Amino acid sequence: MKELKENILAMEEYAKENNIPIIEKDSIVQIMKYIKDKDNHVESILEIGSAIGYSAILMASCNANVQVTTIERDEARYMECLKNVKKCGMEKRINVVYQDALELNLSEELKYDLIFIDAAKGQYIKFFEKYKNFLKPGGVIITDNLKFHGYVGESSKLDKGNLKSLVEKIESYIEFLQNNPEFDTQFLEVGDGLSVSRWKNS
Ligand code: SAH
Ligand code: MG
């Protein structure tokens, strides 16, 4: 088995060559810091949007007790993710689910310390509303790509089209988080923009 580092570098290269939007370095470093902080008690993680497994593997690598369930709806990416999880010897720690996260029915008994939303940007509110029910008290929901390459906050300057409507949806999600009475959200200016929403019920 190759070193984790080597596998990670190979995944970064693969993502670049194949236009797979893996998380930016600064952002995953921030998330890993959160997981490694013993005060946060992170042992179970749910990820929406695995792509090739890059962020799932790095999150699992933080601590031998961490278990990750990650959901991916694209078959080719799901297969690549499985391959990478295996290469890293993490089959027992990472459960990859091949399904659309909005259609999946997880057992209601499953609860997670951290939920990472990193899938279709236009559906963030739907993911949040569905999966907040799977959060442990005191747990957090982290979301990636809230800046969306700098477009967020600038939607009024964009011409009508898919990009504008996507950016508007991310702007609505930010507003939704800011006004959500159940969660305290911090917005971090790292990478492509992260939010950390802590459930107040703890
Ligand atoms: N978290 C990964 C990157 C994910 S890219 C990393 O940083 O390494 C976003 C992924 O979400 C894509 O592979 C896309 O196929 C997947 N996706 C988008 N909408 C989804 C949905 N509704 N259910 C499951 N996966 C979804
Ligand atoms: Mg992302």
User: What superfamily in CATH does domain 2-199 come from?
Assistant: Vaccinia Virus protein VP39 (3.40.50.150)
Which pLDDT score is estimated for 88? Answer: 97
Which pLDDT score is estimated for 108? Answer: 86
Which pLDDT score is estimated for 94? Answer: 98
Helix axes 124-131, 162-178, angle to 10 degrees: 40
DSSP one-letter code for 55: H
Pair of tokens at residue 112? 């997670």
Which pLDDT score is estimated for 1? Answer: 56
**Residue 61, phi then psi, degrees to nearest 5:** -70, -10
Q: What is the C-alpha separation between 142 and 47, in angstroms, rounded? A: 9
Ligand 1: nearest atom to the Cα of 11: 8
**Ligand 1, residues 74, 94, 166: which to mutate, most atoms within 8 A of Cβ?**
74
Distance from the alpha carbon of residue 171 to the mean position of ligand 1, in angstroms: 19
Which pLDDT score is estimated for 152? Answer: 92
Q: What is the C-alpha separation between 82 and 198, in angstroms, rounded? A: 30
Whether ligand 1 lies within 6 angstroms of the CB of 121 is answered as no
Looking at all shown ligands, the one closest to residue 116's CA atom is: 1
Distance from the alpha carbon of residue 120 to the mean position of ligand 2, in angstroms: 9
pLDDT tens for 86-121 read 999 999 999 999 999 999 999 988 999 999 999 999
Which pLDDT score is estimated for 201? Answer: 78
How far apart, in Å, do the first and last CA atoms of the chain sit? 41
Pair of tokens at residue 138? 């005191």
Domain ranges (residues) in the chain: 2-199
What are the residue ranges in the chain where pLDDT is below 70? 1-2, 202
Whether ligand 1 lies within 6 angstroms of the CB of 21 is answered as yes
Distance from the alpha carbon of residue 111 to the mean position of ligand 1, in angstroms: 21
Residue 80's alpha-carbon distances to 51, 86, 168, 172, 175, in angstroms, are 8, 10, 32, 32, 35
